[in-house]
C-alpha cells in the first residue's frame, strides 16, 4: 500500500511540473521565430485533423469502457495522449515559423470565434493536469478515483479537441499562403 502511495506522490509531482512547465514553454516558444525557416503553412490542417481524431478516439474510449473492454479503453486513451503530444509539437513548430493569423470575419461570427478560441485556450491549459491525473489514477489501478476524475476530464478534453477543429475551420479562410 505504501508503495502505491509513493508512486502516486511521484506521479503528482511530475504532473504538477508538467502542468506548469508546458504552458510556460509554449508561451515562450510562441514568441520565438526561426529565421531562415520556410513558413510551414501545411501544418494547421494536419493538427486540426489530429484534434478531430482525438475527439473520435475519446468517444470510442468511453464506448469501450462502457462495454467492459478495459484493454481497448487503455489503448485508445494512450493514443489520445500521444495525439495530443503530436498536436502540441506541430502547433509549436507552426507558430515558430509563422505569424499568428488574424480572424477576418465580422459581426456575430467574430464574437463566436473569440469565445470559442478563448475557451479553447483556457481549457487546453486546464485539461493538462486533469488528463495526467486521470491517466495516472487508471495506471495505478485506482479505478474508482479514475472514474471520478474522468467524469470531469472527459467533457473538457472532448470540448478542447472539438473546439480546436472549430477554431481551425473558422480561421482557415484567413490563412496567408
Band (112; pLDDT cuts 50, 70, 90): very high
Mean pLDDT of the chain: 93
**Taking a C-beta distance cutoff of 8 angstroms, is the pair 158, 58 a contact?**
yes
- Position 1 scores a pLDDT of 54
Cα–Cα distance between 48 and 71 in angstroms, integer? 27
| CB neighbour class for 120 (10 Å; exposed up to 12, middle 13-18, buried from 19) | buried
**pLDDT more than 70, % of the chain:** 98
pLDDT tens digits, 43-93: 999 999 999 999 999 999 999 999 999 999 999 999 999 999 999 999 999
**Taking a C-beta distance cutoff of 8 angstroms, is the pair 61, 83 a contact?**
no
**Does pLDDT of 176 surpass 80?**
no
**CATH fold group of domain 2-174:** 1.20.120
**Taking a C-beta distance cutoff of 8 angstroms, is the pair 128, 23 a contact?**
yes
Write the Ramachandran bin of 65: left for phi over 0, alpha for psi from -120 to 50, otherwise beta. alpha
Which pTM was predicted?
0.92
For the chain, which residues make up each domain, given as ranges? 2-174
DSSP states of 13-65 as a string? HHHHHHHHHHHHHHHHHHT---TTPPP-TTHHHHHHHHHHHHHHHHHHHHHHH
Mean pLDDT in residue range 107-118:
96
Cα–Cα distance between 12 and 135 in angstroms, integer? 11
**pLDDT more than 90, % of the chain:** 79
Band (19; pLDDT cuts 50, 70, 90): very high
Amino acid at each position: 500500500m505504501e508503495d502505491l502511495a509513493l508512486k502516486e506522490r511521484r506521479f503528482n509531482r511530475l504532473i504538477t511540473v508538467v502542468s506548469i512547465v508546458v504552458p510556460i514553454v509554449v508561451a515562450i516558444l510562441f514568441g520565438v521565430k526561426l529565421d531562415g525557416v520556410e513558413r510551414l503553412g501545411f501544418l494547421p490542417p494536419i493538427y486540426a485533423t489530429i484534434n478531430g481524431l482525438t475527439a473520435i478516439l475519446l468517444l470510442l474510449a468511453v464506448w469501450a469502457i462502457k462495454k467492459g473492454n478495459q484493454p481497448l479503453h487503455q489503448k485508445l486513451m494512450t493514443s489520445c495522449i500521444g495525439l495530443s503530444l503530436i498536436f502540441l509539437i506541430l502547433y509549436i513548430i507552426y507558430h515558430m515559423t509563422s505569424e499568428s493569423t488574424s480572424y477576418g470575419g465580422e459581426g456575430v461570427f467574430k464574437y463566436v470565434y473569440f469565445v470559442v478560441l478563448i475557451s479553447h485556450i483556457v481549457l487546453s491549459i486546464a485539461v493538462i493536469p486533469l488528463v495526467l491525473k486521470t491517466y495516472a489514477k487508471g495506471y495505478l489501478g485506482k479505478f474508482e478515483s479514475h472514474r471520478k476524475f474522468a467524469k470531469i476530464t472527459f467533457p473538457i478534453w472532448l470540448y478542447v479537441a472539438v473546439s480546436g477543429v472549430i477554431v481551425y475551420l473558422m480561421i482557415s479562410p484567413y490563412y496567408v499562403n
